[in-house]
Amino acid sequence: MKFPKLIALIFVIATLALSIAACDGQAPATSPAVGAETQAPASEAVSAPAQPETTPPPAKAEVVEEEYTEEEPELPRTQINIAVGEGTGGMAFAGLMYDNYRGLIQNDYNFTVTSGQVIQAGLLSGELDMGAMAINIAATMYNATGGEIRVIALNAEAANFILDRSNEIQSIEDLRGRTIHSGGQGSTQEFSFAHILRLNGLDPETDVEMVWGSNHAHVANLLLAGEVDLVLLPQPFVTSVMQEDTSVQIVLDLREEWEKVMDGAPLPSSSTVVRTAFLEEHPEAVEIFLAEQAAGVDFVVNNHERAAQLMEKFEITQAGIAIGSLPNQRIRSISGADLRAATLDFLEVMYEANPDSVGGRIPDDEFWFIAN
């Protein structure tokens, strides 16, 4: 790599690191159950002291191994280096990873399960061809690099929930005057929740008191210790808490509340991006990926128990957490003409809340790859 290009690469990575502070679903470096989530701001504004993350992990489920015979596909296989996140960010890929493991698909995928920052750096350096990341991080990368990556699919919706043990919350209006603890300050979780409150007639600054913990694991531990009763948490923390304390219940699903105020639009979270150079060189392989990933998502959605075992096998998350959280996940495979419609409204809301959360501007239409 030539020296000027190296300087440019370092500048782009630094720019991305600063912009991630406004990203959704942040998670601590180690969570009580599954490690880092897909969406994580690089810095967290803290209003409560950091606490040790002591939520005990569930017992590991037995993972069933199967014998397989690799079959030679009829057509040449294109190698694709792809990385996904631990936890919820990688769950959508368990089916495709299993088909790839057995050699039953046309492309040849080299999967890595790692952190979001490693995925971003790998795409910038060219070591990765594809990666999974929060949709607003994808927009940030697109804007920061002048279009060197493009989004090709939506993998999942944000799984954010209001948890309560008081049995007093039935609607958004019931949150008026209440104190809610959360660990997602400065993230798209905060911005989307504030948007929901406003469109339900509540001022997030005066009608609800938000108390921000150092991270989601800290807030989960406060709830388990009985120090708080009402929290906003994402998966997989929701499942971890409810497995530990059965008195805690989901009272509001923020995906449903978002749909009510956004004319049925989804609350997007994880997306798949591709390097533009790879897309231009291998357009057919990218379209094959979209079809193969859609089949893999269908398997995950319809086979929770087996998919959970595979998620542990491929080190995405523990099977015990996966089997508990999958019923409350919305694993998706949205691409083509529906992709822009499923994500644009969300990006516009994030931009209005904090322009830096999407890289300073709404991406132009080239951001979304629409397959032929």
What CATH number should be reported for the domain holding residue 69? 3.40.190.10
Identify whether the C-beta of residue 133 lies closer than 8 Å to the C-beta of residue 350: no
Residue 317 counted as domain residue: yes
- Give dist(CA 196, CA 37) in Å, integer: 23
Q: Show the DSSP H helices in the chain as ranges.
A: 3-19, 88-91, 94-102, 116-125, 135-145, 188-199, 216-224, 237-244, 254-261, 276-281, 283-302, 304-313, 319-325, 337-353
The verdict on 142 and 170 lying in the same domain is: no
Residue by residue, pLDDT tens for the chain (372 residues) are 444 444 444 444 555 544 444 444 433 333 333 333 334 343 333 333 334 444 444 545 555 555 444 555 455 789 999 999 988 889 999 999 999 999 999 999 999 999 999 999 999 999 999 999 999 999 999 999 999 999 999 999 999 999 998 889 999 999 999 999 999 899 999 999 999 999 999 999 999 999 999 999 999 999 999 999 999 999 989 999 999 999 999 999 999 999 999 999 999 999 999 999 999 999 999 999 999 999 999 999 999 999 999 999 999 999 999 999 999 999 999 999 999 999 999 999 999 999 999 999 999 999 999 976
Residue 170 counted as domain residue: yes
Domain boundary at 231, 261, 291, which?
A: 261
The verdict on 172 and 256 lying in the same domain is: yes
Tokens for 23? Answer: 């990203």
Give the count of beta carbons closer than 10 Å to the beta carbon of residue 355: 14
Burial of 100 (0-12, 13-18, 19+ CB in 10 A): buried
Q: Which amino acid is at 10?
A: I
Domain boundary at 261, 276, 301, which?
A: 261
Identify whether the C-beta of residue 297 lies closer than 8 Å to the C-beta of residue 331: yes
Tokens for 276? Answer: 């533009």
Residue 256 counted as domain residue: yes
**How many structural domains is the chain composed of?**
2
Q: What is the pTM of this model?
A: 0.80
pLDDT, tens digit, for every residue of 315-341? 999 999 999 999 999 999 999 999 999
- Give dist(CA 24, CA 346) in Å, integer: 12
The verdict on 14 and 113 lying in the same domain is: yes
Domain boundary at 261, 291, 321, which?
A: 261
Residues 6+ apart with CB under 8 A from 32: 53, 54, 55, 56, 57, 217, 220, 221, 237, 240
Residue 135 counted as domain residue: yes
How many degrees, rounded to 5, is the angle at CA 344 between CA 200 and CA 209? 30
Range of the domain at 118: 3-158+267-367
Give phi and psi for 69, each to the nearest 5.
Answer: -120, 120
Burial of 6 (0-12, 13-18, 19+ CB in 10 A): exposed
Residues 6+ apart with CB under 8 A from 4: none
Residue 372 counted as domain residue: no
Of 328, 183, 192, 331, the C-alpha closest to 270 is: 331
The verdict on 285 and 139 lying in the same domain is: yes
- Give dist(CA 104, CA 244) in Å, integer: 39
pLDDT, tens digit, for every residue of 145-163? 999 999 999 999 999 999 9
